[in-house]
Amino acid sequence: MEEGGYWQRLAGRRTSRRVALRAGALGGLGMAAAYGLACSSSNNNKAPAKTGGAAPSGNAPAAGTPSGAAAPAGASPAAANAGEGNGKPGGTISFAFNANPPNYDLVQFQSYSISGFISLVYNGLLTFRNGTAQYPDSVDNTVVPDLVTAAPEQPDNKTYIFKLRPDVKWQNVAPMNGRALTADDIKWFYDYATTDPKSLDKADFNVIDKIETPDQQTVKMTLKNPSANFLTLIVGGFNRYIEPREVGEAGNLKTTLIGTGPFMLSSHEQNVRAVFKKNPAYWKKNSFGQQLPFVDEVDWLIIVDTGARLQAVQSRQANISWILIADEYDQLKSSNGSDYNFDDTPGISDYIYMRLDQPPFNDKRVRQAMSMAIDRPALIQAIGKGKGDSDLPIPTYFKDFSLGLDKLGDLAKYYKRDLQAAKQLMAAAGHADGIKTTFNYTAVYGAAFVQAFQLVQSYLKEIGIDATARQVEYAPYLTSVFKGDFDGITYGPRGLFDDPDPFVGYFYTPGSIYYQDHSDDKDLQAMIAKERQELDKQARINIFYDIQKYLSDQMYRVYDVSVDRYWARAKNVMNYRASSWFPYSEFETTWFSK
Amino acid sequence: MLDYIVKRFVFTVIGVILTTFIVFGLVRIIPGDAAQVVQGQLQTSPAQLKAVRHELRLDRPWYTEYFRWLGHVATGDLGASFYSKRPVMDTIKQALPVSVELAVLSMLIATLIAVPSGIVSAARQESWLDYALRLFSVAGLAVPSFFIAELFIALPAIWFKWAPPGRGYVPLLRDPWVNFQQFFLPSIALGLAFSASMTRFVRSSMLDVLRQDYIRTAKAKGLRELSVVTRHALRNALIPVVTLFGIQLGLILGGTVIIETIFRFPGLGQYTFNAISQRDYPMLQGIVLVFAVGFLLINLIVDLSYGYLDPRIRYA
């Protein structure tokens, strides 16, 4: 008789390898069958199919009109109650973002990683009316006052006189110590941005001839020539925010973040988290007389890993997400559809840029062929699940300025896939046997970007362009490839801007931050200079039409598609609307319903 | 014994110096211009770049810079980051406890899984339990730790709407409960991955010992199996495992890079990753040196522990 109980005998029983393998195979089959059964149900929570291409039109009131609690025409009562007028104090916004800013000086370092931080801490002379529930059009570019009392006076078309608000104070942190903002601060900042050798804003602010401060509440800017987009220039992107003079003069802008804004940087643990506390002495009230900001704290979660970032939202650790692509949107909607509201905005397009000063890409037939090789509808389907648009030199969401494919005439053919025609162009350019080149990219822009890159690479291969992938890390990418120091071609995201000018001015004007391809096209530069000085809107639109036709023919950059992006915010987050582009963090008027 | 200790210590010091040389050289082999990266997005003229290189001492001969750095290392000065200008030693002091805690907890979990599993697997050789444990160890070897980490992030979030507290590292003494919540998943993820190879090693070592004559004698004397395994076999079986322990701890320190990134721990692994991306030579040199010295010291301790574990071993 064996010693020990049943379980001991069972544990000690010898089993042959044959028996063990048989048991394992049966177990594996059983698990596969169970998996198949579990995954056989259809998933109905997919991103809706594309039904139209144009961005939704806004219901925005006229500029300067205070936002009211009354709903715009057609809006639901829920939307009305979510308005700024019903704001309640309290709560913490937790925002899951994917990058860590290595320094804070927005004049010397301009990357999306810094944009959120600076928008919480700084103000600008003017701002866009954006990010509020009453204005569903995320590209509402109405300019409203921020640090100033009203829109600038313009005694002539080269002069702008800004009157500063007398109640604006710097945050109460040394060395600013809560003192009042002065005109000298504004002058210092623009002088710094314009003249510092390391400034990335020099090309933008080059139009400023001089800045005067007749008194400490008045800033007078005189331009070298009339500028159609000067106001959007100083409102948009990184150019908006005013950095502190004392910190700048001490050379500490890279490491010190003190502004006039609604939130103060409390702590920043690199690659982990930053905490911003409500500025207790913030000078701004909304049009209802309510003190801003409403929320007490912004917890900026830096989560580089895409999966971990999504899970931070799924676990409700974050109550506002950063950008979600279609797959992530689907996943979040199926797991947390009842916890979040979802918004969508136009996405960033990607494009190929190349060394236009070197063969073979200095031949426009090669560039045209590359564009005709790309299957844009397939890209939209693969990356955006059908929601997106073919991209053009001026994106279609700029409804007035974008020409659209239907108005390009014969040039529209370069945006449609036609392999036969593309190969003919390659042959005519002397490359019937194909081209070998390097295709640079950086993976920091996410899995969807890399997937698009790989698809584009395969399309180019179909017309004989054998483009070997060369992945570059982000830091070296910004400092070499992004600055035009590369061989071959590069795939990159274009970005969105608040005025049509940067879509051409930044890319084709020598000295600009995006002047990467060495195009040096004097005719194009002349057209850009002309549109910048054309104050009549319709005349300016016509110049942009000419520019778009020119670029569609030259195809200096091969634009592919922009796919929609999604944002998730917890259902109790009110009065927040994701913006299409920087700074992602318009939280000044955001509040929690519970 | 004292001679042996002194000899091992001297070899360790030589190892450290050799390591500094290798670290210094390897860092500079990484492609990419550190001066260009430091300059950032600015369109830089050759003269400006030359000035930056001079400021960062990148234009000096490598051997003079090596000895200069070595001299500073001897005084505890690891230089300053190219980016933040912050002393590297300050960053290391801040980040080291995070990585050490993660490594120690992971090692503990790996040991707690591997040792009993290996013992049971050996004692019940060819049983279904043995096969199950061996299957587990093979799976652990095959599945990367980062995949397990991603599952540990994703599944609690999906099933329970829960994720580890994301407020940054909270030291154990400040808030043990939050510290536990932050560390238990990443420690298990890393520990599971390393327990796989350890399990197999313990099993193999135990099998060797269980086949020895003295074990047969112990059984023949009528001792219970538990007593035979734990009192007579285990200690001898663990001698080679201790060696593996030392090597694994070093590997775990390296494995923290990905885990720290996924779980957002501000440990040495994260800083290493950033330093490589940013070509921050001083930071990279300092951190890798700390890893290397730690690894050498651990193995020194392991070597010295043999004499305690096996009285037959005498250090002549």
- Structural contact between residues A380 and A326, judged by C-beta atoms closer than 8 angstroms: no
* Residue type present at position A201: D
Residues paired with A562 in a beta bridge:
A349, A389
**Chain B nearest-CA residue for A111:** B41
B-chain residues near A495 (CB < 8 A): none
**Could you read off the pLDDT of B219-250 as tens digits, one per residue?**
888 888 888 888 878 877 877 777 787 778 77
From residue A499, alpha-carbon distances to A231, A401, B218, B297 in Å are: 10, 9, 87, 60
Whole-number average pLDDT of chain B? 84
- Structural contact between residues B83 and A102, judged by C-beta atoms closer than 8 angstroms: yes
Q: Do B166 and A23 touch (CB under 8 A)?
A: no
Q: Do A271 and B270 touch (CB under 8 A)?
A: yes
- Structural contact between residues B285 and B24, judged by C-beta atoms closer than 8 angstroms: yes
Supply φ then ψ for residue A93, to 5 degrees. -85, 130
Q: Which residue has the higher pLDDT, A10 or A278?
A: A278
pTM of the prediction? 0.79
Give the largest Cα separation in chain A, rounded: 111
CA distance B89 to chain A (A): 16
Q: ipTM score here?
A: 0.72
Helix A537-554 with A364-373: angle, nearest 10 deg: 90
Q: Does B75 touch chain A (CB under 8 A)?
A: no
- Structural contact between residues A548 and A555, judged by C-beta atoms closer than 8 angstroms: no
Cα A144 from Cα A135, distance rounded (Å): 14
Cα A159 from Cα A214, distance rounded (Å): 14
Closest CA to A225 of A210, A207, A211: A207
B-chain residues near A24 (CB < 8 A): 131, 135
Residue B79 DSSP class:
-
> What's the whole-number mean pLDDT along residues A551-555?
96
Enumerate long-range contacts of A175-180, CB under 8 Å, 24 or more apart. A175/A246, A175/A247, A175/A250, A176/A244, A176/A246, A176/A247, A176/A258, A178/A281
CA distance A99 to chain B (A): 12
CA distance A511 to chain B (A): 8
Interface of A with B in 291-320 (CB under 8 A): 299, 301-305, 307-308, 310-312, 314-317
**Chain A nearest-CA residue for B128:** A15
- Structural contact between residues A403 and A452, judged by C-beta atoms closer than 8 angstroms: no
> What's the whole-number mean pLDDT along residues A478-483?
82
Q: Do B266 and A270 touch (CB under 8 A)?
A: yes
Interface of A with B in 489-528 (CB under 8 A): 511, 513
- Structural contact between residues A548 and A408, judged by C-beta atoms closer than 8 angstroms: yes
Model confidence at A2, in pLDDT bands (50, 70, 90)?
Answer: very low
Q: Residue A23 has what pLDDT?
A: 67
**What's the angle, vertex CA A94, arms to CA A91 and CA A97, rounded to 5?**
160
Q: Does A273 touch chain B (CB under 8 A)?
A: yes
**Structural tokens at position A467:** 């483009």
Model confidence at A15, in pLDDT bands (50, 70, 90)?
Answer: low
* Residue type present at position A335: S
Cα B197 from Cα B287, distance rounded (Å): 27
Q: Do A315 and B162 touch (CB under 8 A)?
A: yes
* E strands, chain B, in order: none
Above pLDDT 90, what percent of chain A? 49
Number of CB atoms found within 10 A of residue A275's CB:
19
Supply φ then ψ for residue A493, to 5 degrees. -85, 145
Q: Which residue has the higher pLDDT, A32 or B209?
A: B209
Cα A247 from Cα A177, distance rounded (Å): 11
Supply φ then ψ for residue A446, to 5 degrees. 110, 170
Above pLDDT 70, what percent of chain A? 85
Whole-number average pLDDT of chain A? 84
Listed ranges A109-118, A191-200, B97-106; the one with the highest mean pLDDT? B97-106
Cα A492 from Cα B48, distance rounded (Å): 27
**Could you read off the pLDDT of A423-441 as tens digits, one per residue?**
999 999 999 999 999 999 9
B-chain residues near A475 (CB < 8 A): 37, 277-279
* A115 pLDDT higher than 60: yes
Model confidence at A6, in pLDDT bands (50, 70, 90)?
Answer: low
Q: Residue A66 has what pLDDT?
A: 29
Helix B88-123 with B176-210: angle, nearest 10 deg: 40
> What's the whole-number mean pLDDT along residues A17-44?
61
Cα B161 from Cα A332, distance rounded (Å): 12
| Residue contacts between A and B (CB atoms, under 8 Å) | 135
Q: Does A174 touch chain B (CB under 8 A)?
A: no
For tokens 């600076």, the residue is A118
Which of B30, B38, B39, B42 should we substitute to test contact with A (largest number of A Cβ atoms within 10 Å)? B42
Listed ranges A227-241, A381-395, A571-585; the one with the highest mean pLDDT? A381-395
A-chain residues near B154 (CB < 8 A): 307, 311, 314
Q: Residue A7 has what pLDDT?
A: 57
